[in-house]
Structure 1
């Protein structure tokens, strides 16, 4: 059996370090950055640490490994992947220091370095996908996700340049909304849904399920992302943004139906705690999206209010994106590490089973506590209670650190 490349581990371990740093700083500040808002140095630091240092870092590492599984072929250039890793990591942590110092030149220099890393990742993925020439719901979703990552980086760089030059004028705020929309719903949304089409059947051992809904999700999700991006960029009005949210909610409903189709064709009764929790995460996001649509239908102006942005941002990024990554990590990390360390020792005495690398009961408890703490933070934001946010935020960080420690301990076995 072929061993796993070390490249995905670099991203995964660095992402875990970013996750730990995010929660450690949140505990030290009593999650105060949520009350201060995200349009300041502390908010920029925390958001970019979470989005880039944790979620994107893990996502990139997963793509480098799973693209081989999806395409049954090697990545275009592993060496380019290592260069991407070092440029992106150095650029990211330099950028974070720049936010803390409030130094525009420092921010600009390291943001350029991180963006160069993103460009290398996009090129590596694009060449790999086009060389494989295998276009289905999985590869199309992955390709769209990579494109949205590129557009997110371009819009972020444009805003960074504007801080120093002011060349964008009033367009800066429009670009800010576009940047967030493309990065969250475009990059993360397309990647998670696309890779799930491969991961769910793999862990459920599902066969002979209908894949037509994948293309409907793909069409609806892209329509919602592009419509929302256009509404922010050109200031077309909040009703257009609301319509984009409605399309995204429809995509989530169809996505949940397809996930149930895959589950109904399973040949493995219990795929593991992490995979089971993805079902709840997907359903909760769909319910939240529908509730948000109803709430905004009468007052679309609420969409741009700080508390509503924080509520939606937390529900999506922490309640779904991060939760999906944590859930899948309980299966992906043991699989990668066992294959890397014990793949060539299959059948030999003393070789541990993959299932022995992670305690499923502890993983199930950890994800359950994270879900509950997430909902408590959402309640605090909805009630606009700094006390509830602080208490539930600290609880969320503590249980998250305990869970990620469980995942990290896999590397010691």
Structure 2
């Protein structure tokens, strides 16, 4: 691997790790009190955007820049544009976060614009890379759709930002806010994780000759759910339409989980590593939670818009699934990238470590187990309306998360 090419994903990954650490340090300082202070305020905006953009999106972008080369067997359209994307997005993001802390609308608007320009650069780079390669399958289509939804998320976010200064959206501001969340969570993250899992799980399980038809089923159902839900929320249609969109997502999740089991059943490697094993458990738990949520909402769909329900859904989706999947895959992707970068040309030479030497799998397994348990404990605290339980379990969650990310970060020292 060319060293100059490999630096771009490392920039995003290292910055994402920094964002993850900053999120948990600030959460510990407040004893996770920001959860109970209301998400629709400067403190909530700071923590949510730090987590979603500074951690999950930052690391996901880095992974895309590397994995798209593996998937397409070709270089990205423009590495220079990739660096421009990194600096615009990073500078804009941390300026935006500072603006949230200060409560300065002008500051927020200016740096949000920089971050948005960075997103546009990323979307253009990925679109040109995919179009030039011309390889269309569930993995590349899912990636293209995810990037498209990221763009729509950015556009809706910018629209809300402009509305703070001009008021041009009027009562539609709330609808834009809901569509913004839906597109960013279920659209961007949902299709990115499902699509890349079709590549990563077979690669680490060494699976061959599995049926891929459910990949197309999942892709169609998930997109139908995202588009239906976003349109429903944007135009303020009946909650039954929104629940119908969630039902499509649940069906997609069921299809997706069945396919993951198909991939695992065709494995030629019994022990792919703790991170990969935990992705299966995390996906199965997410499917069970989503199905239970749908059944509950069918009885009274108005519960969907309550603050407590939105907090529970947001915590489970972003922490128990999105972030957990990123942490799981990071335990394989980071050692793979670093080993290839540092030792790829020294294969077979005396003293060259194997990839397994870079990260202790038993410690990774313990870390992921503790993160999963403490994550669910915080969720229980939210469900029980217990600030004490949220504070205690949230602090434990942050501490074990910091310990786990330290294992990942230490890979770069080996």
1:281 deviates by: 0.4
> Residue 176 of structure 2 aligns with which residue?
175
Q: Deviations over 1:223-249 (max 9, x none)?
A: 000011011000011111111111101
1:193 deviates by: 0.3
1:299 deviates by: 1.1
Superposition CA RMSD, Å? 0.7
Indicate conservation of the 8 Å contact 1:118/1:153, yes or no. Answer: yes
Indicate conservation of the 8 Å contact 1:227/1:244, yes or no. Answer: yes
SS in 1 for 2:170: coil
Query: In 2, Cα distance between the equivalents of 1:237 and 1:395?
Result: 40
1:218 aligns with 2:219: yes
TM superposition score normalised by structure 1: 0.99
Q: Deviations over 1:275-307 (max 9, x none)?
A: 000001000000000110111111111100000
Q: After superposition, where does 1:188-203 map in structure 2 within 5 Å?
A: 188-203=189-204
> Residue 18 of structure 1 aligns with which residue?
19
Q: After superposition, where does 1:166-315 map in structure 2 within 5 Å?
A: 166-315=167-316
> Residue 83 of structure 1 aligns with which residue?
84
Query: In 2, Cα distance between the equivalents of 1:34 and 1:285?
Result: 21
Indicate conservation of the 8 Å contact 1:2/1:344, yes or no. Answer: no
TM superposition score normalised by structure 2: 0.99
Query: In 2, Cα distance between the equivalents of 1:295 and 1:262?
Result: 31
Query: In 1, Cα distance between the equivalents of 2:31 and 2:346?
Result: 47
Q: Deviations over 1:18-61 (max 9, x none)?
A: 00000000000000000112000000000000000000000000
Q: Deviations over 1:357-392 (max 9, x none)?
A: 000000000000000001100100111111111111
Query: In 1, Cα distance between the equivalents of 2:197 and 2:390?
Result: 31
> Residue 104 of structure 2 aligns with which residue?
103
Query: In 1, Cα distance between the equivalents of 2:215 and 2:87?
Result: 35
Query: In 2, Cα distance between the equivalents of 1:74 and 1:295?
Result: 47
> Residue 410 of structure 2 aligns with which residue?
409
SS in 2 for 1:36: coil
Q: After superposition, where does 1:312-331 map in structure 2 within 5 Å?
A: 312-331=313-332
Q: After superposition, where does 1:34-53 map in structure 2 within 5 Å?
A: 34-53=35-54
Query: In 2, Cα distance between the equivalents of 1:388 and 1:224?
Result: 34
Q: After superposition, where does 1:47-86 map in structure 2 within 5 Å?
A: 47-86=48-87
Q: After superposition, where does 1:386-405 map in structure 2 within 5 Å?
A: 386-405=387-406
Query: In 1, Cα distance between the equivalents of 2:2 and 2:117?
Result: 31
1:2 deviates by: 4.6
Indicate conservation of the 8 Å contact 1:2/1:343, yes or no. Answer: no
Task: Report the count of equivalent residues.
Answer: 413
Q: Deviations over 1:7-27 (max 9, x none)?
A: 000000000000000000000
Query: In 2, Cα distance between the equivalents of 1:29 and 1:22?
Result: 11
